[in-house]
Each structure stands twice: as structure tokens, then as C-alpha cells.
A and B are shown apart, each in its own frame.
Chain A
């Protein structure tokens, strides 16, 4: 073994080959189990990257993403839609029944919001669909501020509109 160059050594070659096989099998299994997640991540379709958690924030402090069907069910049960987009976008057009709470102004508006909306009401934040992180960030902020049931409608305004559901606003 010692009188051969390293890569000619059969033992080393075998070791490297077996190591590669382990890595290849792990990749194949991992990717086939999670291909959708990885694909979504690389095409920007996941909910915004999880923000940095400090030691105080537990994992459960993130809003649950939900789909259109569930949004409709929750609204029927009394949930409140919250538009996380800029106030101008809201005035232009928004989901029927939604109220405006732009992420950029959340600190100023939250005090008034709190007076109107009890902390145990189910809230559904939305913005401009996949790839738009504002609704997720707003959801995190609302959870931090004490709201207990916050969801994020990932499809947001575009999915709602394309489904032919009612829209309100001045720009219509």
C-alpha cells in the first residue's frame, strides 16, 4: 500500500467510492422526499425565509400558511382579512372585508388596531402572493404583539382575484 501513489491504492479508492455512494444515496432519497420544498425554494415560491430567531422566540411564533379554501372557511367563521400591502394598493383594490395594515406603518397603526380587534380573533394576513414576504412578516409582528391566531394567505391578492372572488376599491 505504501509504495503506491495514494489514488492507486485500492483501499483508498474503495473508501472514496463507498463514501460517494453514501452521499449519492442520501441526495437521491433526500431530494425525492423533499423535491417540492427544494423546487419552491429555488423558484422563490416559498414563504419568506424564516427571519432570525433570537433565543426568546420559539418556533411556534410563526404564522401558519393557509390556502384559499381554508381562507374562505375561516372568513365564514369570523376571521379578519388583513392587507399587508401599501395603503395606496389597498385603496386601489383589496379583498372584500379586508382592512389595511401596511407592514411599513404597523408600529404607528397598531395601537388603534388593538382597540378594534381582540387578540383572540383569527387574523389572515395577505399581500401580493408568492414571493411577497410582507404578509409573513406582518404575521410574525402580530404574533409578537400578542395576537394568538394569525395565518398567512400565501396566494394573496392575485390568487383571490383570479378565483373570481369579490374585490373592493377605488380603482375598479
Chain B
């Protein structure tokens, strides 16, 4: 793998890891508020919002830490890819249903709210990073094997 690709791989891996460790840690700090934000999406039965709020932050933190440490890059990228896909579907459903709430992506007490559309655009960028990490990792593995 040439130098540019290697830089892109490590750059996107570290950046992704950092984003998700940060996002997960703030959410893990106050799960009740995060549960309220999940409930705002009006997608899940009442109690399930709390279950999601209990587990999701740790999925983000664990996958993010693994990416930063450059360990288990493929499975953690897969987990974050699936999560990000779910976020994008949920945000799209907000836009379709015309519900204007804070996306609950990062700080629960943010002064400036992030609208579903801008969160969706941001998630598209994150998805691009996830795909880059995934494919560069695969390429790197293949070249190391050959």
C-alpha cells in the first residue's frame, strides 16, 4: 500500500475512533437524558429506549477504542458501520415524518441543536470514513498476506 493510502487509512481510523469514543462517553455519562433523546425519535416502545440508552454508548466507546488502538479494526468498523446506517435510517424517518428534534448525537445538553438534516449529512461523511477504513484495512491485509 502506498504512502498516501496508508496515511488515509490511519487518519480515518484514528479520526473515527476519536469521534465515537467522545460521542459514546458523553452519552454514557447520563443515560436517562440519552434515553429521552432516543424516545424523541418515537421509534421504539417506551422501555426499549432505556435499553438502547444503556448499551449503545458502550458499543460506540468499545469500537472507538479498538480503532484508536489499531486492534480488531474490521469488526469494530463493521459495528460502527451498522450503527451509522441505523442512525441514518432513523434520521431519515425523522425528516420524512417532519419531527424536528435534536439528533442526540453528541452532547445531551447542547445549546445549539443539530437538526436531523445536518446530522444526516454529517453521518454521510462518517460513513465515508467508515468505508475508507474498511477498504484500506482489507487492502493492507491482502498485501501483507501476499
Instruction: Please judge, given known A-B contacts A23-B79, A26-B62, A53-B40, whether A37 and B31 are in contact too, CB under 8 Å.
Output: yes
Chain B residue contacts of A15, Cβ below 8 A:
74-75, 78
Chain A residue contacts of B113, Cβ below 8 A:
55
Whether B50 pairs with A26 at a CB distance below 8 angstroms is no
Instruction: Please judge, given known A-B contacts A15-B78, A59-B109, whether A33 and B28 are in contact too, CB under 8 Å.
Output: yes
Asked whether A18 is an interface residue with its Cβ less than 8 Å from the other chain, the reply is yes
Q: Which of B28, B40, B58 contacts A52 (CB 8 A)?
A: B40
Which of B58, B59, B79, B113 has the largest number of chain A CB atoms within 10 A?
Answer: B58
**In terms of DSSP, what is the predominant structure of the interface of chain B?**
helix
**In terms of DSSP, what is the predominant structure of the interface of chain A?**
helix
Size band of the B side of the interface? 35 or more
Chain A residue contacts of B70, Cβ below 8 A:
none
Size band of the A side of the interface? 20 to 34
Chain B residue contacts of A26, Cβ below 8 A:
55, 58-59, 61-62
- How far apart sit A44 and B50, CA to CA, in the bound complex (Å)? 11
* Nearest CB of B to A102, in Å: 24
Q: Which chain A residue lies CB-closest to B100?
A: A55
Chain B residue contacts of A49, Cβ below 8 A:
36, 39, 46, 49
Asked whether B127 is an interface residue with its Cβ less than 8 Å from the other chain, the reply is no
Chain A residue contacts of B51, Cβ below 8 A:
38, 41-42
Whether B66 pairs with A59 at a CB distance below 8 angstroms is no
**CB contact list, B39-64 vs A, under 8 A:** 39-40, 42, 46-47, 49-51, 53-59, 61-63
Whether A34 pairs with B53 at a CB distance below 8 angstroms is yes
**Besides the contacts A19-B78, A33-B28, A49-B39, what 19 more A-B pairs have beta carbons closer than 8 Å?**
A18-B72, A22-B62, A22-B66, A22-B72, A22-B75, A23-B59, A23-B79, A26-B58, A30-B28, A30-B57, A31-B54, A33-B54, A34-B31, A37-B32, A37-B50, A41-B47, A41-B50, A46-B50, A53-B36
Q: Which residues of A contact B (CB under 8 A)?
A: 15, 18-19, 21-23, 25-27, 29-31, 33-35, 37-38, 40-42, 44, 46, 49-50, 52-55, 58-60
